[in-house]
Amino acid sequence: MPHDPGADFRALHQKGNPFVLANAWDAGSAKMLAALGAPAIATSSAAHAFTLGRPDGGTVTRDEALAHAQDLVAAVGVPVSGDFENGFGDDPETCADTVRLAAEAGLAGISIEDTDFARGGPYTFEFATERIRAAAAAARALKKKDFVLVARADGVMTGEYGMEEALKRVRAFDEAGADCLYVPMPPGMQSLKNVVRATEKPVNALAAGPFAKFTRAEFAAAGIARISLGSALARVTHKLIHDAAQMIYGTGDFSLLGVGLPGAEVDKLLQD
């Protein structure tokens, strides 16, 4: 029987003992992160969109996301999860199809958020729950393959609803069959702890923005099972490009180009 990355991926999710899920944006960054110790890799919808010259938020198609994910699966020997936005469609059956296609692509899991990109806001509570229920049913129906489905409540991050609604959705997504719950960018660590208390299942935290100041130990103390990086690493890279280019084209100063990682170090990390 072929090795099942989904089972390995699920085993990493332990409350109070979080692993760091490194979000990569191409095969090279995925290989570097895996070589540096990442136990699992994820795509980043935003970072992937940036590589295509597009802004974040519903600008990447499902076919593009699947092809990108397959590139990362082929590049590394650790489990890979897909940041698959809203499942690439509104209706529940589209979410279920996305789960099946993601599994066929070799992914160990995906995340699905509750954002209606066409309307520009969250799906209703009932419809968002129905979508996760369909995706979870598809994940459980996969033959001889484990698959970790993450349900995201993104309305706090986007300013569309508050923590009371987010916790209501977390509980509903849990009951609908999600394997891991995720409320990106809650107001603070106490709110993150409230998400953990709302479910017995693993909870993902995003180490970005104000949460980048917390250590792994602090996330562990909050009961978090998984810490993802989102597009933060890609944005750090873009910050360096931005700052170096401003210096180069503003004052002719090339000094930031002297802080790069030596080519030999990069080559070593990229070796199979």
List, for residues 42-94, the tens digit of each pLDDT value: 999 999 999 999 999 989 999 999 999 999 999 999 999 999 999 999 999 99
pLDDT of residue 150: 98
pTM for the structure as a whole: 0.95
Q: Which CATH number fits domain 5-232: 3.40.190.10, 3.40.640.10, 3.20.20.60, 3.90.1150.10?
A: 3.20.20.60
Q: DSSP secondary structure string, 193-223?
A: HHHHHT-SS-EEEE-SGGGGGS-HHHHHHTT
pLDDT of residue 1: 41
pLDDT of residue 2: 59
In contact, 188 and 159? CB cutoff 8 Å: no
Kind of pairing, strands 80-83 and 121-122? unpaired
Q: Sort 75 into a burial class: Cβ within 10 Å, 0-12 / 13-18 / 19+.
A: buried
pLDDT of residue 43: 98
* Cα-Cα-Cα-Cα dihedral sign, residues 47, 136, 207, 24: negative
pLDDT of residue 200: 97
Domain boundaries, given as residue ranges, for the chain: 5-232
- Integer Cα distance of 69 and 71 in angstroms: 5
- Integer Cα distance of 89 and 117 in angstroms: 9
Stretches where the chain sits below pLDDT 70 are 1-2
